[in-house]
Amino acid sequence: MGVFRGQKMKKELIELWLKVKAIRNRQKDIEKIKSMIKSAEINAQVVKKIRIDENTATLIFREIYESIRQLGDAKWWILGYEPLNHEVSMEVLREFEIKDKIKLNSLERFKKIRNDINYMGFRATIFQAEEILDFWYKCGEEILNILKKEIL
């Protein structure tokens, strides 16, 4: 069950994550939030221009993953917390009510692929790069727009 499926669950999970230092209280910083959202958007725009092949797939995957994670970070900052790991950044994204919500189930797998790339020396496949780009088009851009509205 995700972060916001019920007030009791929300409170319990936030308290747990505060206790284990996965998040910490922060004052809502609108300029920082806007900067995170803008960075995620620009990064994704640049990466989308790169032709996908076996040499660029890893770069594309890693950078789109980073943009997705930044959206999760921005949501936590909107809520008044700073995320201290990728797990909580990705988990908060699963709670967005978007058109293709089922695709949010891919986030955990994307996190594993990204960790394999960064820490195990694996290379992303063309298919994986295409898949995370498809996720960005179908989910990331919608989440981006929701976050922009939340900070107005």
Q: What is the mean pLDDT of each run of 10 residues along the chain (152 residues)?
A: 49 90 94 97 98 98 98 96 93 93 95 96 98 97 96 87
Show the DSSP H helices in 28-84 as ranges. 30-48, 57-79
pLDDT at 1: 38
* CATH H-level superfamily of 26-150: Nucleotidyltransferases  domain 2 (1.20.120.330)
d(CA 109, CA 100): 17
Q: What is the DSSP string of 122-149?
A: ----HHHHHHHHHHIIIIIHHHHHHHHH
Facing residues of 83 across strands?
Answer: 23
Please report which helix (H) or strand (E) contains residue 83, including its range: strand 81-83
